[in-house]
Amino acid sequence: MNIRKTLLVRFLAVLLLLSFLPVFGCGAESAYRELKSGDRGEDVLALKDRLYELGYISSKNYGDDYNKNTVARIKELQKKNGLKATGIATPELQELVFSDECIAKSGKKAPDLTQSHTPEAAGNNPAVFAMPSPAGKDAPQLDEDGFLDADEPYIYANRNAGEWTYVSRSIHVEIRQRVDKSVPHKWLEAALRYREPAWFGSMLSESTAEKPTKSGLQPAKPMTIAEKQQAVFAISDDFFGYRVWNSQKPGIIVRNGKIWSEKTRAADGKAWPPLDIIAQFEDGSMKTFVSDAHTAQEYLDMGVVSTYAFGPILVEDGRVSEDLNHWRTTDRAPRMAIGITADGTILAIDALGRRKDAVGVTTPWLAERMLELGAVEALNLDGGNTTSMIFMDDIINRPEDVNKKDIRTVSGLIGVREGSD
């Protein structure tokens, strides 16, 4: 049973149950009782189901108790909806929560409980992304936010099974290898959720610590950057350093609050790459823009921390980009893409290619797959031999015995690490 049907059944059950119970402190007409820390019951479970639906709870590993995490999630919802953050679910608040007027964590109004949860039916409100459960037979139980309440992280890596997991108090990464032998296709799908004090963003090589120049840019091996940055998980980025080195337009480049380039292409141009952008904001959200939509300073003024310029845009506002078919519709190649779901989960797809077991993918294939995963925004990053997906101390998109000299040097990665420094 899907989450919407389950939610409706529990909601109706709560209404039936409460119709036989006295309601205290909220008037005879209210169908809800006040819920607060320490309460239990089907109505608490129904409330949590709705919080999951709205994106405030990230994992289905929860019970029917109104605990400290529930209080925190209710406070977050109250703030998002312009209410006083008490952590108490009053009858009035529950009426809002179960209505289509409630603001979800994504900042949009809540989806209608009666709608199908598919991209086709929901338009620009794709299906809620379901984080895979941690891999491994000894995988731990997570809290209702999808993190691990333990001093040491749980780490699982199995190349043969194509499964990788890292979960701690502040980072949760799940990576799965997918295979379609009929083409053949092989690709890696990664999902990342993080919270403070973890840090996520651009990890530049030390050689590009200052503004790069044609004579001074010296890219580094991906693993060298990841090790120095203490990355738990990282992917290759737009490789703007290559375009600097070769006197090409890099695109509008902002990295960790610093402007690197203001030279880009016109949005209606035909040159590859189009230099479209996905921008990372201070609150962790991401949004795609055409190449010349804003200046670097305008992005900073909007609260953007980093921009990645490559393209084309794959998914925008929950739909496959209308301009996508103008860009290499039949060219199969190794490709890297980054996206984000409505609940803030970072997605990455690394499609392998130019090998016997993987011929590579087209950009439309990449867009459709991102949409299937629940992405509301997604961008194609630099592909070919540049692509790297790193988990801990391993480049998992390459064979274990790969010759290190065959791995291309890059000017930076996009990654996550423990701590904020």
* Neighbour tally for 172: CB within 10 Å: 29
**pLDDT reported for residue 121:** 33
Q: Which helix (H) or strand (E) holds 227?
A: helix 222-229
| Average pLDDT rounded to a whole number, residues 142-158 | 94
| Average pLDDT rounded to a whole number, residues 197-220 | 73
Using 50, 70 and 90 to split pLDDT, how confident is the model at 329?
Answer: low
pLDDT > 90 in the chain, percent: 58
**pLDDT reported for residue 32:** 86
| Average pLDDT rounded to a whole number, residues 378-392 | 95
pLDDT digits (tens, 9 = 90+) for 223-260: 999 999 999 999 999 999 999 888 899 999 999 999 99
Using 50, 70 and 90 to split pLDDT, how confident is the model at 120?
Answer: very low
Tell me if residue 376 falls in helix, strand or coil.
strand
**pLDDT reported for residue 385:** 87
pLDDT digits (tens, 9 = 90+) for 354-376: 888 888 898 989 999 999 999 99
Determine contact, residues 286/313, Cβ cutoff 8 Å.
no
Tokens of 290: 């055409």
**Whole-number mean pLDDT of the chain?**
84
pLDDT digits (tens, 9 = 90+) for 395-409: 999 988 776 667 889
**pLDDT reported for residue 62:** 76
Q: Which helix (H) or strand (E) holds 200?
A: strand 199-204
| 3-115 fold | Muramoyl-pentapeptide Carboxypeptidase; domain 1 (1.10.101)
Beta-carbon contacts of residue 174 (< 8 Å; ≥ 6 apart): 131, 132, 134, 135, 164, 165, 190, 191
Would you say residue 421 has pLDDT above 90? no
Tokens of 132: 């895979």
pLDDT digits (tens, 9 = 90+) for 299-328: 999 999 999 999 999 999 999 998 776 765
Would you say residue 334 has pLDDT above 60? yes
**pLDDT reported for residue 31:** 73
Judging by DSSP bridges, how do beta strands 335-341 and 394-395 pair with one another? unpaired
Determine contact, residues 166/155, Cβ cutoff 8 Å.
yes
| Average pLDDT rounded to a whole number, residues 33-61 | 85
Portions of the chain given CATH number 1.10.101.10: 3-115
Using 50, 70 and 90 to split pLDDT, how confident is the model at 59?
Answer: low
Alpha helices (H) in 22-116, listed in sequence order: 42-54, 68-80, 91-97
Would you say residue 70 has pLDDT above 80? yes
Would you say residue 192 has pLDDT above 90? yes
**pLDDT reported for residue 210:** 58
| Average pLDDT rounded to a whole number, residues 178-203 | 93
Most confident of 36-45, 64-73, 295-304: 295-304
pLDDT > 70 in the chain, percent: 82
Would you say residue 266 has pLDDT above 70? yes
More confident: 138 or 13: 138
Determine contact, residues 367/314, Cβ cutoff 8 Å.
yes
Beta-carbon contacts of residue 124 (< 8 Å; ≥ 6 apart): 317, 318, 319, 376
Using 50, 70 and 90 to split pLDDT, how confident is the model at 113?
Answer: very low
Would you say residue 26 has pLDDT above 50? no
